[in-house]
Amino acid sequence: MIDVADRAVIHRASLDDAAGTRLPTGAALPDGIAPLTDIPVAPWRALAERAIEPNGYYLPDWELAVNAYASGRTGASALCAWNETPLVPDGVARLIGLLPVISMWRAYRIPLPALASASPYGTLCTPLLDRDVACDAVIRMLAQARNAGAHALILRDVSLNGAAMKAITEVLRQGGLRPRVLQSHARACLDARRDADELLRNALGGKKLKELRRQRNRLAEHGAVRFDVARTPDAVAAAIETFLALEASGWKARRGTALKQDDGDAGFVRRATTGLAASGQCEIVTLHAGATPVAAAIVLRHQDRAFYFKLGVDERFAKFSPGVQLTLELTRHLCASAVIATADSTASADHPMINPIWRGRLKIGDVLIPLRPRDPLVSLIHAALATRRLVREFARHMVHLIREIKSSRTRSATF
């Protein structure tokens, strides 16, 4: 069964099986499931511009950097759908759908024949679908997964109410199938079309804003407070080093999860941010007190949406809430944009910092997509995933309990 699961990622569907997809004569383009690195970048970028729903983490400069460097996330494959009409000027077929994938074994260590969306480091795996032929793209991609031997497709961290999921649901409905939501949660987002000051007053209230202004004034005693935005590749290349240093100076470093602590992760984020900056799709925002950077964050842009990737702070200034102060400035920056309509926090549910500030909510979840009617293996895959989730939740609860016990004992020992 492990062999079947692994072959599901590397087997390429035949020309006829892949919903009639055919490439122009002489074109050396992948059809069906292929290594992610085989997808030509130019058609991928063109698809991203036409995507029915934005996803900054599946932009080629980001995802290819993840695939090349990020620890545990390299070597992904892709479901891709091509439509040779109309041809783009260089004679290459038009890419109309793309989803990076890995085997279920690699994603979950479960030896069953299914594919899962590949983790792009950010918590969003919504596939890129051409807005003009979204359902056609879905039909072709599901056929490719089916012909490769998969019995199900697992979309992890997908926007449940988004246009891409609606297209997938409609295709399944027409085939007498329906998606199964494995888990869901709501996470913070920003309506950037609103006035920033009004939005922040409504979200935080006058008393909290007054306290934050007091903290900012205290921070200014260490030097004039300024908010910088790095946009060009050179500026982003310099700012990413500041971000990496800040992130590696605090609790993430103590837990061993800072990007700079892993050469592969650091390499990925350096390449991805500078690559996207060249097309205006990445900014690094930094809050300074005088010459000292106290907080920095990476923000991606795709179409009319921004994605708040990661935040790093100097914990020596913790009493001034540097992460919150940066987020307030970022909120004003995004609301002032003529392009950005919404911003996805890409944070966990009930995040204590961002949730009180960005009061909008996006419904995110994992979805099991059956590929054949009345397939008993789909129920087995569903049950295996549910069992794994219960085991992980129990283990997480025990870890938290142990940490609380240790913390309680430490506090008791100090009195």
pLDDT (tens digit per residue) in 68-81:
999 999 999 999 99
Q: From CA 221, how far away is CA 320, in angstroms rounded?
A: 11
What does the pLDDT read at residue 10?
31
Averaged pLDDT, 138-167: 97
The tokens describing 382, both together, are 């569903």
Choice between 284 and 401, residue whose per-residue pLDDT is larger? 284
Report residue 72 as tokens: 């545990």
Evaluate if residue 191 carries a pLDDT over 50. Answer: yes
Predicted local confidence at residue 405, as pLDDT:
74
- Predicted pLDDT of residue 28: 37
Share of residues in the chain with pLDDT > 90 (%): 81
pLDDT at residue 63 greater than cutoff 60: yes
Q: What is the pLDDT of residues 280-312, one digit of tens each?
A: 999 999 999 999 999 999 999 999 999 999 999
Position 26 pLDDT exceeds 50 = no
Residue 84: per-residue pLDDT: 67
Q: What is the 3-state secondary structure (H, E, C) of 333-357?
A: HHHCCCCCCEEECCCCCCCCCCCCC
pLDDT class of 328 with cuts at 50, 70, 90? very high
Mean pLDDT, rounded, for 158-176: 97
Check residue 21 and give its pLDDT.
33
Average pLDDT over residues 210-238: 98
Indicate if the pLDDT at residue 250 is higher than 90: no
Q: Which amino acid is at 194?
A: R
* DSSP track, 52-64: SS--GGGSHHHHH
Instruction: At 187, give phi and psi (nearest 5°).
Output: -130, 160
* Percent of the chain whose pLDDT exceeds 70: 88
**pLDDT grade for 402, boundaries at 50, 70 and 90:** confident
Helical residues (DSSP H) of 33-175, grouped into ranges: 41-50, 60-69, 104-108, 134-147, 163-174
pLDDT at position 413 over 60: no
Interatomic CA distance for residues 267 and 374, integer angstroms: 45
| Per-residue pLDDT at 266 | 97
Residue 15, SS3 per DSSP: coil
Residue 115: per-residue pLDDT? 97
Kindly indicate the confidence band of residue 397, based on its pLDDT and cuts at 50, 70 and 90. Answer: confident
Residue 92, pLDDT score: 60
User: CB within 8 A of 178, min separation 6: which ones?
Assistant: 169, 172, 370
Other Cβ atoms closer than 10 A to 263: 10
Q: Please indicate whether residue 145 or residue 32 has the higher confidence score (pLDDT).
A: 145
pLDDT (average), residues 184-210: 97
pLDDT at 408: 66
Nearest to 329 by CA among 186, 207, 219: 219
- Tell me which of 16 and 120 has the higher pLDDT: 120
pLDDT at 5 over 70: no
415 CB neighbour count, 10 Å cutoff: 4
Dihedral through CA 110, CA 115, CA 119, CA 124, nearest 10? -120
Confidence of residue 411 (pLDDT cuts 50, 70, 90): low
pLDDT band at 161 (very low <50, low <70, confident <90, very high): very high
Reported as a pLDDT band with limits 50, 70 and 90, residue 104 is: very high
pLDDT of the residue at 178: 97
Tell me what the pLDDT averaged over the chain comes to.
Answer: 89
pLDDT at residue 412 above 90? no
**Mean pLDDT for the stretch of residues 225-254:** 95
Say what the pLDDT of residue 4 is: 34
Q: State the pLDDT confidence band at 91, using cuts at 50, 70 and 90.
A: low
Task: Tell me which residue of 82, 35, 306 sits closest to 188, measured CA to CA.
Answer: 306
> What average pLDDT does range 308-325 have in this prediction?
96
At 24 the pLDDT is 32
Q: Has residue 112 got a pLDDT over 80?
A: yes
Which pair of tokens denotes residue 334?
A: 């995004």
Type of residue at 168 = I
Residues 229-242 have a mean pLDDT of 98
